[in-house]
Structure 1
Amino acid sequence: MKPIVILFALIGFGTGLLAQDQQPTDSLEGKQVVLDEVFVSAVRVTNETPVTFSNFKKDEFAPRNLGQDIPILMNFLPSVVTTSDAGAGVGYTGIRVRGSDATRVNVTINGIPYNDAESHGTFWVNMPDFASSTESLQLQRGVGTSTNGAGAFGASLNLLTDAVSEEAYGQISSSIGSFNTLRNNLKFSTGLLNDHVEIAGRLSRITSDGYIDRASSELDAYFLQGAYKDDNTLIKALLFGGHEITYQSWYGFDAATITAIGEDGNIETNRTFNIAGARFDAIGNSEGFYENQVDNYKQDHAQLLWNEQLSDAWNLNLALHYTHGRGFFEEYVDDWYYTNVLFSGDSQLSFIGRENFTLNGTEITATDYIRRRWLDNDFYGTVFSAIYSQEKLNLILGGGWNQYEGDHFGEVIWTRFNNGNDLRERYYDDSSKKTDLNLYAKANYRLDSKWNLFGDLQYRTVGYQANGNETGLVDDTFNFFNPKAGLTYDLNRNNNFYLSYAVANREPNRNDYENGSPKPERLQDIELGWRYVAPSFQVNTNLYYMRYKDQLVLTGELNDVGAPLRANVGDSYRLGLEVDANIEFSNQFQWRPNVAVSDNRNIDFVFQRDGVLQNLGNTNIAYSPWLVIGNWFTYSPWETLDISFLSKYVGKQYMGNIDSDASVLEAYSQLDFNVQYVWNIDAFIDSITFSGMINNVANEDIISNGYFYTFDDDFSDPGTITTVEGAGYYPQAGRNFLLGATIRF
């Protein structure tokens, strides 16, 4: 690890307290209507709430918004770890908060659930360049407050889309970078027409070859907004979505592929190898790769948002939403690789619902074939809230009703040997339906000038029905009660303390049923925090204890489409300390550090090794590093120029839950450089903003994610069972760059 990386890694990044309560008043798009924030006021919090959170605004992430996904832009927030399948932040990306993966991070857009209702995942690749239409986001760590959608078991993330602009503008942005990355977008707004109506939109296209071999991305996106406002009313109609075509890169590869001994006896490194699409002849010689081994998916969202200021005390929010997603991934399944590497001895034809047959006197039990596995789903519903505010009491009554309907089916579009079967005949055809209703009431009551009480009660009922060879017949109903309570104490105008206790319950997802873990999980979260606010120095410090029952932790394994598998583990906990600060040395120097230290344990974890059930004691929870440090140091010699150094250090973590040396992800550090210069012209062209970024300046060999598996081998020594362990990895790109320019009219 290079000394300069350690130096910057030991500094960290955070969001200042003063910034947390400030309202955005302007941006590159012009003066904005703050009334937009009412759409998320029911699910966001302020310093008066005993919740641990960070705000992240457009002007903070805009200098780095050059085409990478939102998780990558969030990489330097407290307790956040991100990764990219293609290795360069474009395509499939992932995020973990306090060690909890994306399926356990509740995400809403304008208060509307975004997590896939069935898998609980968040697939940012389906909304390319969405950061360009995001006004701000808030990350609540821990349970947070009641929100819409599945419960938060590590964090909740709320995004607010672009605010209404009072002034008309046009904007063209382009960026280029390593691995033939290219991003172009066009944004516009009519401004307020007749002081009431605005129409705005965005078109985006991003392409990239990816760092990993053939891990290409072709991403198209759109965003259209119509708004009406007067003194007491704001109505917004939104249409947005995307179409992604990405070459598959979700398989990773083992350590032997990364470093191997060449013919000359020297170590050869291949950090970009991708097995996806590999083709072999009858004796295992490579025949190249299938060129259309892609994920091809479209997703469209419609939102209708209405806010009405009923009186000085009452405010009403109502939203209707509809999401339609459809697409497939296509893959070439090679006979030799399937029978000799993956599933030795199995009949490949039975895997796709076919029977063995005889051709020219030879029994055919397997064949090369190309299949598509489809998803076609609809998600719709409503969310609502009524907000009452007076001098001492802030009361929110809200909830939501949402329904998901999904079809899962597969079809074979080509076979080398065919027994008269119709191509595109579905070899599986499954369906699912999920209904989610939640109601909540939460209140902040100020007892006096120092003490503030908080209470939050939520009832949530979930009905899930599914059929399939993997899931079986599922017909489950869950009823959850999620109480939260806390208090804040203002010692003086600079110091604020808070204590909270929250309960969350969460249902299993589809993969959990397939993996044989259908128990719901329960979390009790205690947060104790201190906030200090001064004009040039702000700090947040919080201690948390998250105690789980039947937590669905990642096992380290992947299913056949690269999705992480989870399993109930009985009792477990996460205990941690988080500190973040904002220090302004002068108008030119700003330093925003954070550090998170945690102990994450499965209690009395039981595992069957070598055929014998063993109690391994308290083991580390998978993908939960004990130390995460970040940094954002900015130097602004002029008002129009910002130069930033950003760094991340992620400590050692395990990819499984048995503390095996074979499952270790070693600690890593990353240093990025970012610069932005604004050239104000004030003519037909209002301004040109130049941005540049060098990622991984020190060219570190970073591996931020991987997988781990075990299986019992009783073939090599009959009568003896030996547990075999293996692992795979997802290397990230070395030194790489992005350069961009934004022209504003």
Structure 2
Amino acid sequence: MTKYFLLFVVVFLKSILINAQEATSVDSTKILNEVIVVYQANKLTPFTFQDIPAKELKAKSTGQEPSFLLSETPSITNYSDAGNSQGYSYFRMRGIDQTRVNITLDGVPLNEPEDQGAYFSNYPDIVNSVSKIQIQRGVGTSKNGVASYAGSIQLFSPKLQDSAKTTVGIDYGSFNSVRAFGIYNSGIKNKKAFYIRASQIYSDGYKYNSSNNSQSVFLSTGLFNDTSTWKLNILAGQQKNELAWLGVADSLIQRDRRTNANENEKDRFVQALAQLQHKWKVSTHSSLQSSVYYTYLTGDYDFNLNTFLGLPSTEELFNYDFQSNLLGFFSNYRVSKKKFNWTTGIHGNVYEREHRGSERSLGDLYKNMGHKNEISIFSKLDFMVNDFSFFADIQYRYTSFDYTGSVNFDPRTWHFVNPKIGVSFKFQQGSLLYYSLGSTGREPTRNDIFGGNDDLLADDMNTAVVFIEDPEYVVDHELGWRFSSKNLTLDMNLYYMDFSNEIVLQGNFGPNGLALTNNVEESYRTGVEVNAVYSINHNFSLINNSSFNYIRIKEQSEVFSPILTPPVLINQELVYTHNNLVVGLSARYQDDSYMDFANTAAIDAYVLLNSRIQYALERYQFSVFVNNITNTTYFNNGYVDFDGTNKFFVQAPTNFHVAIQYSF
């Protein structure tokens, strides 16, 4: 199947080159718009969401991992392995880890189906090519791929209809961090458009021996006709990291903040994604949108068992090697009228991932293959009656997992019916109240099923030892208010998420370095989230993104707080704008949070101050970023090790980043 898809892509590219010789020039405003992803929310949708537009993304983008930008929005925390903003970083939404967050690019799932994680580090500088990010907190609307259990992150590819432009840039910052990139966008000419970005990123990392060396390319091209649009996206990246995923004891951090508990460990990964989109305007009020996509991943990482156990390092070094293929398709039919919209769609994919384990002196230890397939269908409807907007959405999702290796394994299958309903009411100019109720289920990851082992364990009867196989469920209530006036934009919401059989992090790591999980009997998460932008006058504006959470887990007679879930998060930014000058000063307060289920070990609260200055001069743009101005020593992630030692992930002290861009 893969070779036929690649052949189709080649034929499509060839047709663009041939037709370019024949097509006549056309005003881009008279042709069909680009393919619009139908899973995103709009101002009337009764779900909690927040858009980050391209202008804001590009103003703050320095090649950092997207989790740093996401953490400026309500209820999101993040941390990085190396302590700085390049290399591996992770985020949590409403205290829930990112394997439970649906992440897509133009509707294409970015989560790896087996472990359900999405690795932005494999696509370095991806934010530089994103036209918008939409964050939906809570179950939200139906999506392709893994469950939107905590929420979803939707990325949107470059807008080919933008004006023709070429931009080159180079950045330099602390820890020998460098980014160089070039972007070319042709705009639409003769019904065709072409976009390409290439980036190189390097950083020594804040911790010792935690460097990141990565490259990526994003290519997008399209054909725009009167009743149909074709668009092809190709995204490819590769990275080489020195690893720093182990926490460090506070006693060692006090001696040297840059201490890295990992020794002699590296990884190497290459990942590529190709998507072919088509939109056909069937009639005045209906359209059919379809996509076929393919993702390829290959790579490996080292594992030093001795340093993991706190023992002196030896020549022993394990290696885990992966290669995966994901091929999928989705199609949506949409009927849209003035006060009525109906969309129904189907999505399916097939996935396989080869796992190999070896040791430097012993050679190959095992080889196995994971197989995971899924298919889903959904239908959603929204319509208006006077000032009321009603919304209904239902999805059926089927997924299966199988394993071939040295142990017999019975395939697992899961069936989910995910309904959502909601209503919004415009009760005055610029003011809207909404409520929604949604439910979704999520299957366990391979790591959950295998208890943190990369090769399946067996008992004395050669029967597979399975740890977690039951799915988890959540019922999500969202009550919100949106208000917009000349000087103030306000989004405020209350949420209540009621979980059953929730799979939560227990705070420890398994034998291959992956985080271990437990099922808990009952749990709930509730809180208030605020996003507000207030213009004080023509020059000054205040931007606030905050959340106040109350979250509890019940296990038999015990009630306790989940790990890594701060009750209070506040992001406050003051921005001054005058002509071509922008100055921003931001403060982040992150409350303390527990690292263990016993609620005895905690990460302390902290305040972080960051600043930016940007100035545009004709075709040049200059930027200076200074982060952690007060040189705060802070941790935003940690765990209690098997020997009872508290381990932390220290983040960078005062650091800077300067950038220059030239556009023509």
Normalising by structure 2, we get a TM-score of 0.90
Contact 1:83 1:705 in 2 (8 A): yes
- Aligned match of 2:596: 656
Measure the CA separation in 1 of the matches of 2:571 and 2:503: 28
Aligned: 1:492 with 2:478: no
Aligned residue identity for 1:230: N
Aligned residue identity for 1:576: G
Say if 1:503 and 1:333 are closer, same or farther in 2 by CA, change over 3 A.
closer
The CA deviation at 1:63 is 1.8
Measure the CA separation in 1 of the matches of 2:510 and 2:261: 16
1:259-658 superposed matches below 5 A = 259=254, 269-277=255-263, 290=264, 293-331=265-303, 341=311, 368-412=315-359, 414-415=360-361, 423=363, 426-448=364-386, 450-467=387-404, 473-515=409-451, 516-603=467-554, 605=555, 615=557, 617-638=558-579, 640-658=580-598
- Percent identity, aligned pairs only, is 28
1:659-698 superposed matches below 5 A = 659-660=599-600, 662=601, 664-680=602-618, 687-698=619-630
Return the match for 2:107 from 104, 108, 111: 111
The CA deviation at 1:502 is 0.2
Aligned: 1:223 with 2:218: yes
Aligned residue identity for 2:654: R
Aligned residue identity for 1:39: I
Q: Secondary structure at the residue paired with 1:103?
A: helix
Say if 1:338 and 1:474 are closer, same or farther in 2 by CA, change over 3 A.
same
Task: Judge which range, 317-326 or 511-520, deviates more.
Answer: 511-520
The CA deviation at 1:732 is 0.2
Q: CA offsets, 1:347-405, max 9 Å, x none?
A: xxxxxxxxxxxxxxxxxxxx833432100000111122111111221111113101110
Say if 1:314 and 1:635 are closer, same or farther in 2 by CA, change over 3 A.
same
Q: Secondary structure at the residue paired with 1:511?
A: helix
Task: Judge which range, 185-194 or 95-104, deviates more.
Answer: 185-194
Q: Secondary structure at the residue paired with 1:373?
A: strand
Return the match for 2:85 from 89, 109, 112: 89
Q: CA RMSD in A?
A: 2.0
Measure the CA separation in 1 of the matches of 2:248 and 2:593: 18
Structure 1: which 5+ residue stretches go unaligned?
1-30, 260-268, 278-289, 344-366, 416-420, 607-614, 681-686, 711-723
The CA deviation at 1:725 is 2.8
Contact 2:249 2:648 in 1 (8 A): yes
The CA deviation at 1:312 is 2.1
Aligned: 1:137 with 2:69: no
Higher RCO (C-alpha under 8 Å, 6+ residues apart): 1
- Aligned match of 1:705: 637
Larger radius of gyration: 1
The CA deviation at 1:126 is 0.3
Q: CA offsets, 1:673-697, max 9 Å, x none?
A: 01211111xxxxxx11111111111
Q: CA offsets, 1:432-473, max 9 Å, x none?
A: 10011110011111122x11111000000001112457x972
The CA deviation at 1:741 is 0.7
Measure the CA separation in 2 of the matches of 1:33 and 1:508: 48
Measure the CA separation in 2 of the matches of 1:210 and 1:474: 43
Q: CA offsets, 1:115-138, max 9 Å, x none?
A: 111101111110000011100010
Say if 1:536 and 1:37 are closer, same or farther in 2 by CA, change over 3 A.
farther
Q: CA offsets, 1:169-193, max 9 Å, x none?
A: 2211110000000000111123323
Aligned: 1:736 with 2:655: yes
The CA deviation at 1:38 is 4.0
Q: Secondary structure at the residue paired with 1:369?
A: coil
Measure the CA separation in 2 of the matches of 1:34 and 1:65: 32
Task: Judge which range, 130-139 or 592-601, deviates more.
Answer: 592-601
Structure 2: which 5+ residue stretches go unaligned?
1-27, 452-466
1:246-265 superposed matches below 5 A = 246-259=241-254
The CA deviation at 1:474 is 4.7
Measure the CA separation in 1 of the matches of 2:226 and 2:663: 29
The CA deviation at 1:33 is 10
Contact 1:150 1:506 in 2 (8 A): yes
Measure the CA separation in 1 of the matches of 2:156 and 2:230: 15
Say if 1:691 and 1:132 are closer, same or farther in 2 by CA, change over 3 A.
same
Normalising by structure 1, we get a TM-score of 0.81
The CA deviation at 1:166 is 5.0
Measure the CA separation in 1 of the matches of 2:612 and 2:67: 17
Measure the CA separation in 2 of the matches of 1:52 and 1:429: 44
Measure the CA separation in 2 of the matches of 1:233 and 1:490: 35
Say if 1:331 and 1:620 are closer, same or farther in 2 by CA, change over 3 A.
closer
Q: CA offsets, 1:242-267, max 9 Å, x none?
A: 111000100121122123xxxxxxxx
The CA deviation at 1:333 is 5.6
Q: Secondary structure at the residue paired with 2:449?
A: helix
Aligned residue identity for 2:566: P
Measure the CA separation in 2 of the matches of 1:37 and 1:665: 46
Q: CA offsets, 1:257-303, max 9 Å, x none?
A: 123xxxxxxxxx312111222xxxxxxxxxxxx3xx21101001111
Q: CA offsets, 1:210-252, max 9 Å, x none?
A: 0011100001111111111123322111111111100010012
Say if 1:340 and 1:735 are closer, same or farther in 2 by CA, change over 3 A.
closer
The CA deviation at 1:339 is 8.4
Q: CA offsets, 1:3-28, max 9 Å, x none?
A: xxxxxxxxxxxxxxxxxxxxxxxxxx
Measure the CA separation in 2 of the matches of 1:37 and 1:736: 40
Measure the CA separation in 2 of the matches of 1:703 and 1:339: 22
Contact 2:31 2:226 in 1 (8 A): no
Contact 1:76 1:632 in 2 (8 A): no
Measure the CA separation in 1 of the matches of 2:289 and 2:33: 11
Measure the CA separation in 2 of the matches of 1:497 and 1:299: 42
Task: Judge which range, 555-564 or 204-213, deviates more.
Answer: 555-564
Contact 1:32 1:166 in 2 (8 A): no
